[in-house]
A and B are shown apart, each in its own frame.
Chain A
């Protein structure tokens, strides 16, 4: 079965003919070539595929593409400005050692963004809670938490 869906992707209006069984992850990665959203497990256990749908961080591997109809979707590709300036969270992950192998980073950054968009003053425990579904094997989370807190403290302002 094929269905036509329309959605806002990183600010752009998209209309796409999808198969009903596709996940949003499949649509983004395999069909649209947006490789920034990663697949780490395909079962909603690792968070590498996190994107934001209508302000909520979700595992795109568990989210059917057909449900994206009429939704606002943000992926890692939409964060940096068109002039190349990184989003404050991206910059903070870079500056604070929040990225090693980098495979979890897009998902980690999207989960962080959903949190700080909702609550710009989120505390340490709230951040830990928001990132609990994003697995990282390289950093021990220390510098990731540092990165999110530093971005929060800058209040979304790049220096």
Chain B
């Protein structure tokens, strides 16, 4: 696609350009301030004591020695936490536990002291007597009638959540199918591994208003959570200001508020001093939440031509001991289940089950990678059973523009077909077989135009221009490294005929930035981008109005470009924009140019049957991978990777590629190496030696072809692309391994041990025959 602006039919000046991240230089110089780097006058240091059992009654806590230690300002236990102070949408998680503990990460006490060392010493002086209770660690066992209860008051380990849908007639479609595949898959706990660990600083002013500096992807929703905490503490009608420093990685980990934030608030209130809680790496592994693990039962069928007839999926989710967004990932799993490829008859049912394990949260893709792993793995199996080429079966069933899926998703633009073409072009899918080498393909659908999970999917933007042609834009959107500040600046600069360096993006403070639902669901480019564009359009209208008077021309005939306003068919008639701004300001009844805009996309909340157009537009993609499997060791080496995505329009290809590359490698870790290993609820690999991330040594070349479909609702045609990179990676790998050596792994991660065991099993089965 050419880089033409369809409104003016002129080349874009800023959109589509590879403009480096605006904050990259200060980060490269080591000047960027993360939560780790912030110190406030009089600040105390908080530390949290975690329990030593997966499930136990707290018989006695003695904090007297800790309180007596010089330098200790406060010691809190569950007794000090107001009854109504509970975290998570299910409200089952007090920031410090009382009476009993239900997982190893349970907080049992907290301390504030004048140094981190003294705080740690104080923790060591807290004496707790526990009475261990039987734990339950397998969600399927936890569903059994005689299973111990994680929370007695809940009366059952199964959460009361409504994840169930049935469209069409799955039973009938199954009977009428020519081919059916039925399998079980399991996926593991993986964790975000943000390089910058979690932390927060809370402080109260003399009127008991709270300011909290915290790593968050949801400044506005976090503000709401903290207001609720203040209310529980008896502090009604107070203000909460959330300040978000530069974040050392997000990936969904900061979509909920955590105990450490609420504990920092309690400690700061108890001491009336700023209190900072900073996680070390072990805490980051043990006390932040993972991706939701799953047990997946899937059945898919097709007719003799390969056309999909039905999809029937059932899942059991290990909820852990408390409830955060992990328990709501079925709402997003529904998307690929109902809408990846055309399939009319769909059934899905998911149960979230309490166990004494860690609890899960949002993580890039939000359930989509788990569901897509099962769907795309069984699609290859179905193609093989039906004797149809694996690329052809995908092409045959692909989504197309204008489709309405069984869940009611209205597919506006859709480049899935082109993405499959790109994968085929870039990766030799078929050809002479080399021993141990194979290829695999898998596709994806994801929300690309916001996601109406919450009641509002909106984002506000306030834009002001000064006398020098410079813009400050205050956006609700959150930059956490993905580059939303660039996208915002590029959109505003393009619209106002300015340069990117003329735009200052402020995105870090609820006192000055408008509301936004958060940096999730790949929504920021689309939603925050449209908010910025809306504000810029309003200001532009005023500029054109002034320009029309000053240049004596029809506003429709005026163009803003290169910091200048000029008459389109008489470019000699022009004026620098900053001069126009000064003329507008310094004249009788003068005017400063400002505008606000709140963009709430025209998408729908899903009703009781989970039907509704959740997103204004959907992103599509196809991934292809070539692997080499060492049959002696079971080790899988990735040789080549193609990740093609329909992005609507690439606002900034440099940053877009960064999102894809990063997503793919995160997906490769999910597929091959990463797992939080637990034993009876206890994390056994809370360090980077034993939690296996890809390193630079494992880095591969990734091709990331971009398909531009120009979505009519997106800012300059763009869709979201933050998450898709990690969505179909695992099934693409699993399919390639099968292609290479004829074994299929149903359980992530696909470690050499599992491949080797499957190879051995295959060999012994062959020998028997």
Roughly how many angstroms separate A34 CA and B192 CA in the complex, as a whole number?
27
Which residues of A in the span 98-114 have a Cβ within 8 Å of any Cβ on B? 99-106, 109
Do residues B687 and A103 form an inter-chain contact, with CB atoms below 8 A?
no
Residues of B within 8 A of A77 (CB): 29-30
Residue of A nearest to B250 (CB): A101
Q: B585 near A: Cβ within 8 Å? A: no
> 8 Å CB contacts to A: which residues of B263-305?
280-281
A94 to B32, CA, bound (A): 14
CA distance in complex: A132, B693 (Å):
11
Say whether B757 faces chain A, with CB atoms less than 8 Å apart. no
Stretch at the interface among B153-161, B478-486, B541-549: B478-486
Once the chains bind, are B28 and A137 in contact (CB under 8 Å)?
Answer: no
What are the residues of chain A within 8 A of B162 when measuring CB–CB?
none
Who on chain A is nearest to B26 by CB?
Answer: A102
| In the complex with contacts A42-B281, A95-B20, A137-B693 CB distance below 8 A | yes
State which of B29, B249, B663, B695 has its C-beta within 8 Å of the C-beta of A90.
B29
8 Å CB contacts to B: which residues of A7-46? 34-43, 45-46
Question: Contact: A137 with B249, CB < 8 Å?
Answer: yes
Contact of A141 with B by CB under 8 A: yes
Is there an interface contact between B29 and A76, defined as CB atoms closer than 8 Å? yes
> Is B687 in contact with A41, judged by CB distance below 8 angstroms?
yes
CB < 8 Å neighbour of A132 from B21, B195, B247, B696 = B696
Contacting residue for B662 out of A45, A75, A132, A140, CB 8 A:
A140
When C-beta atoms are compared, the residue in chain A nearest to B116 turns out to be A30
Question: Given A90-B29, A140-B702, are A40 and B281 neighbors across the interface (CB < 8 Å)?
Answer: yes
Q: Does A64 contact B (CB under 8 A)?
A: no
Contacts of B695 in A (CB 8 A): 131-135, 141
The chain A residue sitting closest to B251, CB to CB, is: A137
Mask, B14-39, CB within 8 Å of A = 1, is 00000011011101111111101100
Is B699 in contact with chain A by the CB < 8 A criterion? yes
CB neighbours of A136 from chain B (8 A):
195, 696
A116 CB within 8 Å of chain B: no
Q: Are B34 and A45 in contact (CB under 8 A)?
A: no
Docked pose: A141 CA to B665 CA in angstroms: 8
Is A122 at the interface (CB under 8 A from chain B)?
no
Tell me whether A140 and B694 are in contact in the complex, defined as CB-CB below 8 angstroms, given that A40-B281, A101-B247, A103-B195 are known contacts.
yes
B662 and A145 form a contact (CB under 8 A):
no
Residues of A within 8 A of B32 (CB): 102
- B688 lies within 8 A of chain A by Cβ: yes
CA separation between A50 and B657, bound complex, in Å?
Answer: 27
In the complex, which residue of chain A has the Cβ closest to the Cβ of B34? A103
A108's nearest neighbour on chain B, judged by CB, is B696
Tell whether, in the assembled complex, residue A94 and residue B20 are in contact, meaning their CB atoms are under 8 Å apart. Answer: yes
B249 touches A101 (CB 8 A): yes
A102 to B30, CA, bound (A): 9
Give Cα distance in the complex from A93 to B699, angstroms: 17
Taking CB as reference atom, which chain A residue is nearest B702?
Answer: A142
CA A125 to CA B689, docked complex, whole Å: 22
Known A-B contacts A35-B37, A41-B688, A101-B247; A140 and B665 likewise in contact (beta carbons under 8 Å): yes
Contacts of B687 in A (CB 8 A): 41, 43, 45
Q: Is the CB of B195 within 8 A of A137?
A: yes
B195 near A40 with CB under 8 A, answer: yes
Q: Residue B654 at the A interface, CB < 8 A? A: yes
Within 73-117 of B, Cβ neighbours of A (below 8 Å) are at: none
Distance (Å) between the CB of B650 and the closest chain A CB?
A: 13
Interface string of B644-660 (1 = CB under 8 A from A): 00000000001101100
A138 within 8 A of B: yes
CA A142 – CA B656 in complex, angstroms?
Answer: 13
Interface residue? B194 (CB, 8 A): yes
Which residue from chain B places its CB closest to the CB of A106 in the assembled complex?
A: B30
Would you call B696 and A145 a contact (CB within 8 A)? yes
Cα–Cα distance between A34 and B480 once the two chains are bound (Å): 22
A104, A105, A127, A142: the one contacting B661 at CB < 8 Å is A142
Which residues of B lie under 8 Å from residue A58 when comparing CB positions? none
Determine if A135 and B699 form an interchain contact, defined as CB atoms under 8 angstroms apart.
no
Complex contacts, A102 vs chain B, CB 8 Å: 23-24, 27-28, 32, 246, 248, 481
Interface residues of B in 248-264 (CB under 8 A from A): 248-251
- Min CB distance B108 to A, Å, is 24
Q: Are A35 and B33 in contact (CB under 8 A)?
A: yes
Q: In the complex, which of the residues A36, A37, A101, A128 contacts B195, with contact meaning CB atoms closer than 8 Å?
A: A101
Q: Which of A46, A86, A100 is B25 in contact with, Cβ under 8 Å?
A: A86
Interface residues on chain A, number (Cβ under 8 Å) = 53
B701 within 8 Å of A by Cβ?
Answer: yes
| Given A101-B248, A102-B481: A48 touches B195 (CB 8 Å cut-off) | yes
Do B30 and A75 touch across chains, with their CB atoms under 8 A apart?
yes
- Chain A residues in 8 Å Cβ range of B694: 140-141
Contact B697 A132 (CB under 8 A): yes
Q: Is B664 an interface residue (CB 8 A)?
A: yes
Q: Among the listed A90, A96, A128, which residue makes an inter-chain contact with B699, where contact means beta carbons less than 8 Å apart?
A: A128
Q: How far is the CA of A75 from the CA of B693 in the complex (A)?
A: 26
Interface residues of B in 157-200 (CB under 8 A from A): 192-197
* Bound CA–CA A101/B192 (angstroms): 13
Cα(A106)–Cα(B34), bound, Å = 13
* Interchain nearest-CB distance for B17 vs A (Å): 13
Contact of B696 among A40, A75, A141 (CB under 8 A): A141
In the complex, the answer to whether A138 meets B30 with C-beta atoms within 8 Å is no
CA gap between A97 and B481 in the complex, in Å: 11
Complex Cα distance, B280 from A135, in Å, reads 16
- A134 in contact with B192 (CB, 8 Å): no
B657 touches A143 (CB 8 A): yes
Answer whether A141 and B195 are a contact pair too, CB < 8 Å, given A42-B281, A102-B246, A103-B34: no
Is A2 interfacial (CB-CB < 8 Å)? no
For B666, what are the chain A residues with a Cβ–Cβ distance below 8 Å? Answer: 137, 140
Residue of A nearest to B23 (CB): A102
Q: What A residues does B194 contact at CB under 8 A?
A: 101, 103, 137
A97 to B660, CA, bound (A): 12
Contact (Cβ within 8 A) B197 A40: yes
Cβ 8 A contact of B29, one of A42, A80, A132, A142: A80
Chain A residues whose CB sits within 8 angstroms of the CB of B662 once the complex forms: 100, 137-140
In the complex, chain B residues whose CB is within 8 Å of the CB of A131: 695-697
CA gap between A131 and B193 in the complex, in Å: 18
Complex CA distance for A94 and B29, rounded to whole angstroms: 10
Residues of B within 8 A of A93 (CB): 24, 28
Q: Could you tell me if B697 and A128 are in contact, using CB atoms closer than 8 angstroms? A: yes
B33, B192, B193, B696 — which one has the most chain A CB atoms within 10 A of its CB?
B696
Given A48-B195, A141-B699, residue A76 in contact with residue B30 (CB < 8 A): yes
Tell yes or no: A5 within 8 A of B by CB: no
Residue in chain B with minimal CB distance to A140? B665
Please, which residues of chain A bring their CB within 8 A of the CB of B30? Answer: 34-37, 75-77, 106
Residue on B nearest A144 in the bound complex, by CB:
B696
State whether A129 and B29 are in contact (beta carbons under 8 Å apart), knowing that A100-B482, A137-B251 are contacts in the complex.
no
Shortest beta-carbon contacts, A-B, top 6: A36-B30, A101-B481, A102-B27, A140-B665, A103-B248, A76-B30
Interface residues of A (CB under 8 A from B): 34-43, 45-46, 48, 75-77, 79-80, 86, 90-91, 93-97, 99-106, 109, 127-129, 131-145
Query: Which B residues are closer than 8 A to A by beta carbons?
Result: 20-21, 23-25, 27-34, 36-37, 192-197, 246-251, 280-281, 480-483, 654-655, 657-658, 661-666, 687-689, 693-697, 699, 701-702
Q: A38-B248, A96-B654 provided; 8 other pairs, C-beta below 8 A?
A: A43-B281, A43-B687, A43-B689, A46-B281, A80-B29, A102-B32, A103-B248, A131-B696
